[in-house]
Structure 1
């Protein structure tokens, strides 16, 4: 009888681990960053974590958690920049996520992109929010933007900082970006 109880307990733990939510923060340059989490009212807090330069940290997130995270570069003032916003187990049990420029669209070094961990890279994937270089048309600029992405996945990647190719592209010829993205407005 005890054997069956142990198997049942193991199965319950395995099931809970399989359905666990996570955010993996991948730091793409040599700047150390602190990740600050802000839950929606009434939801559990998540302690800040530090991601060393060119490293990554995986953070387990409670079931049904809704909130955001932003990064603070070492030595910088702690103020929100680009936000990695997420809803786990939302409507229809889906995960909703977006990179939001609403609070501080001038943050060029913090949160860059979000995508499901099963995609491994945001370069050729379709379920991506955010930009390698801001502004772009796949970030959230206004409260009614249609840029939130949904997935059945519960493990998300959040990229931080700039790769060498990001810096080179940003420093190259100026990109033409629709005026309403630069101004944060929907109409041109």
Structure 2
């Protein structure tokens, strides 16, 4: 899968002329400035499959926590890591608060989840996700 920074991904996704209803809301939990503005929703084309990550301002462009998504995959489902569906809020892949049952300990840990929803939420930074809605 291609690997893009969240900033590059946002520019790419916003520059598309035909965009599907697929989207990821990046929810910032701290006050760090990153390559992606705080609380930004990015739309993706139909059948998009790829990875993303955000980098703190001034930091090197190294992959930290990597999110992964496949919209409109097998059986029309959305496959995802490090996120959750925006409407139903379940299932959750990865931790909202560390530690948790969905934590990744090794590179090959399988935490890929599926949903019929096409709007996902992922968090950036550390903090509480206790909030009604986004």
TM-score range, shorter chain: 0.7 to 0.9
Q: Which aligned pairs between 1:39-118 and structure 2 lie closer than 5 A?
A: 50-51=36-37, 55-99=38-82, 114-118=83-87
For structure 2, the 5+ residue unaligned runs are 1-17, 130-134
For structure 1, the 5+ residue unaligned runs are 1-15, 35-49, 100-113, 120-124, 167-188
Which has the greater radius of gyration? 1
Q: Are 2:96 and 1:132 aligned?
A: yes
* C-alpha distance after superposition, 1:126-177 (max 9, x if no partner): 411111344543144343x3311100000101111112x59xxxxxxxxxxx
Alpha-carbon spacing, 1:147–1:63, altered in 2? closer, same or farther (3 Å): same
For residues 56 and 107 of structure 2, what CA distance do their matches in structure 1 show?
Answer: 25
Question: Whose helix fraction is larger, Structure 1's or Structure 2's?
Answer: 1
Alignment-derived partner of residue 150 in structure 1: 114
Alpha-carbon spacing, 1:93–1:150, altered in 2? closer, same or farther (3 Å): same
For residues 74 and 98 of structure 1, what CA distance do their matches in structure 2 show?
Answer: 24
Q: Which aligned segments of 4 or more residues in structure 1 are displaced greater than 6 angstroms?
A: none
TM-score by structure 2 length? 0.72
CA RMSD of aligned residues (A): 2.2
